[in-house]
Amino acid sequence: MRSLGTLTGFNSLFRRSKSSVTNLNKINERRRVVVTGIGAVSSLGNNVVDLWRRILNCEAGITKLGSEFKGLPCQVAAQLPREQLQIEKYLSKSDLKVMSPATQLCIIATEEALQTAKLDPKELNSDTLERFGVCVGMGMFDLSEVYGAWQQLQKGYNRVSPFFVPRLLPNMPCGHISMRHGLRGPNHSVSTACATGSHAIGDAMRFIRNGDADIMLAGSGESCIDPLSIAGFCRIRALSTAFNETPSQASRPFDKNRDGFVMGEGAAILLLEELEHALQRKANILGEILGYGLSGDAHHITSPSEDGAGAALAMIRAIKDAQITKDVVTYVNAHATSTPAGDRIEAQAICKVFGDHVNKIRVSSTKGHHGHLLGSSGNLETVILIKALAANKIPPSLNIEELDKDICVNVVTKPEIWCHDRQKTRVALKNSFGFGGTNSSLCIASYIG
């Protein structure tokens, strides 16, 4: 009897063990992450509707700089139409004192993202707010703020604003967004130069996928078009100087006559959500984040390696993380900033990654429209990509009069239909690369329920 009891006990233990394995498998099933809200402020307008409309109309938001920039080699930038922002609609005078310009733009973009997602944090219960996080970064702070504070210090210690340091901290957009809406989930800030926005989206996706949150606001803001910043980028010969009299033609990714990037400013925020959570509240799903790849060039502080190894690794890892094959990808939204070396190296990296399939992939960079927003470029371009997926249209690269002979990819110069079968899932990569050799690639798809 004792032997039988032992056997019965073993069988019971085995059944429990088998059940535990089943539960573990359920836990290990990947949570899918979708986009349900988007918001943006850029030189093309203070909302996503205007941004997308002007891109499809092949318009550029690049203009001539003011008199305070006199004497600098670069005289163009993609500046915000600040008179149209209606900042007072979103922020009080007290808010403006404690928030940097980049943080202010993030707040405005966040409001639009929440509105398009039809999600009001005030209506959420405490448990939901504890699983609602923020992952918003900043590539670099406004250097004019530092210079202004230094000038005040020369007049006396008490002239320095008590909000000087809080306004500069790169994590303050996260802080202000979370405090404004009572969000107590992961509060994480990213600052990886021009890859900041993409890294923020990728990190937020992982927080949801790993079960740390159900909802995340992700993106970045940048506002540093000032004489000192422009002078600094001019000194490293990064900015365009050949089109000062024709600003709208200055940013020209992949064109033979490109001579540097055009500084831009703005912010873009995406609302990411776990799929089942989004379906349960009947949210309008705009797209799905499938994968995220990161890498380092380990080469130079500003220049990518000639072989494009870092860029290629990021793309390969994004595809692997998405659990797809490379032949599924049909479009790459390139980082391509309009620098002679960077555009060429990225194009060659795309060819290296996709091999024979590269002939079936279309490529474009929208920086000809809105300039290079530094740390807020990857997230703004992801918003554009989300619109492209939903509208089944590929956005164009502007100002290509003659394609550089070293560009080995199919560059789109006019808006194109993405896929004639709208029911077919469309898959794309979004590349972002930054000083210090930091690289990010997102794999994003249309959502077909």
What residues are annotated to the active site?
194
Residue in the structure block whose two tokens are 């992961």: 186
The amino acid at 340: P
φ/ψ (deg, to 5) at 284: -85, 110
In 273-356, which residue ranges form alpha helices assigned H by DSSP? 275-280, 309-322, 340-354
Tell me the sheet residues that pair with 363. Answer: 332, 411
Residue in the structure block whose two tokens are 């202010």: 104
Using DSSP bridges, classify how beta strands 362-364 and 410-411 pair: parallel, antiparallel or unpaired: parallel
Q: Is 142 in a helix, a strand, or coil?
A: coil
Q: Is 49 in a helix, a strand, or coil?
A: helix
The amino acid at 199: H
CA distances from 21 to 25, 28, 210 (A): 6, 10, 19
Angle among Cα 382, 368, 203 to the nearest 5 degrees reads 20
C-alpha span between 316 and 294 (Å, rounded): 9
The greatest distance separating any two alpha carbons of the chain, rounded to the nearest whole angstrom, comes to 98
Chain centroid to Cα 281, Å, comes to: 26
Tokens standing for residue 444: 């994003």
C-alpha span between 208 and 226 (Å, rounded): 37
Measuring CA to CA, which residue among 251, 269, 248 is closest to residue 259?
251
